[in-house]
């Protein structure tokens, strides 16, 4: 059985915008299922050019970008508060992947082999430090020291991961 380790999306956004935003958004998905994926593959949808978020630049249906998923977080896009941002820590541009999108729904849990992608052959670049996803005000703060985290920081980080309020997170420490 193939390893389902990839979220594929059919997006009207350009590769530059996805990189600028820190990942691909605003998706309806199951965050607990999505957080098990390692890779994001973006395929181009140019059939919605009049929509305000469309700035598509790649051929319709082609796979054009792969990213290593770092986090699934709530979308900050206005009107999309019930949707998700698939944040990535590094990316590679794809070439020669025409007609890659074959499904009806715009989000597909799949494998890299479905697209014929071998990550060992790609040159990944780190995400720019100034991406919108990295500037998010509700992003968990970095711990004060390596391996050190307060209960409040842990609750906030877990809440962001699972898409719930920090008040819904309970932590028990046994010693």
> pLDDT tens across 112-169, in order?
999 999 999 999 999 987 655 544 444 444 344 445 667 877 777 777 777 777 778 8
**Residue 110 and residue 168 in one domain:** no
**Residue 18 and residue 90 in one domain:** yes
Average pLDDT for 94-112:
93
The H or E element containing residue 79 is none
**Residue 43 and residue 128 in one domain:** yes
Distance in angstroms (rounded) separating the CA atoms of residues 28 and 110: 16
The H or E element containing residue 11 is strand 6-11
**Residue 144 and residue 106 in one domain:** no
- The whole-number pLDDT of residue 120 equals 94
Cα dihedral 134, 62, 55, 51 sign: negative
Domain range holding 160? 140-175
pLDDT digits (tens, 9 = 90+) for 59-68: 899 999 999 9
Backbone angles phi, psi at 74, to 5 degrees: -65, 140
Classify residue 1: in a domain, yes or no.
no
**Residue 164 and residue 79 in one domain:** no
pLDDT band at 7 (very low <50, low <70, confident <90, very high): very high
**Residue 52 and residue 15 in one domain:** yes
Tally of CA atoms within 13 A in the half-sphere of 137 that contains its CB: 1
**Residue 100 and residue 174 in one domain:** no
Distance in angstroms (rounded) separating the CA atoms of residues 65 and 107: 15
Q: For the chain, give percent helix, strand, coil, nearest 5.
A: 20, 25, 55
Q: Tell me how long the chain is.
A: 175
**Residue 157 and residue 88 in one domain:** no
Domain count across the chain: 2
If one compares 80 and 2, the residue with the highest pLDDT of the two is 80
**Residue 87 and residue 171 in one domain:** no
Token pair of 5 as six digits: 């380790």
């Amino acid at each position: 059985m193939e390893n389902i380790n990839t979220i594929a999306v059919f997006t009207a956004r350009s590769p530059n915008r996805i990189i600028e935003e820190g990942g691909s958004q605003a998706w309806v998905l199951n965050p607990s299922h999505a957080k098990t994926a390692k890779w994001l593959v973006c395929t181009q949808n140019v059939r919605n050019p009049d929509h305000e978020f469309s700035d598509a630049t790649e051929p319709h249906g082609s796979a054009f970008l792969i990213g290593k998923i770092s986090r699934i977080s709530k979308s900050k896009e206005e009107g999309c508060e019930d949707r998700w941002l698939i944040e990535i820590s590094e990316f590679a541009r794809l070439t020669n992947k025409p007609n890659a999108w074959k499904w009806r729904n715009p989000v597909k849990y799949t494998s890299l082999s479905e697209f014929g992608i071998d990550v060992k052959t790609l040159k990944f670049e780190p995400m720019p430090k100034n991406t919108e996803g990295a500037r998010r005000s509700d992003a968990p703060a970095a711990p004060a020291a390596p391996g050190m985290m307060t209960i409040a920081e842990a609750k906030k980080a877990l809440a962001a991961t699972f898409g719930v309020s920090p008040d819904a997170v309970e932590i028990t420490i046994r010693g």
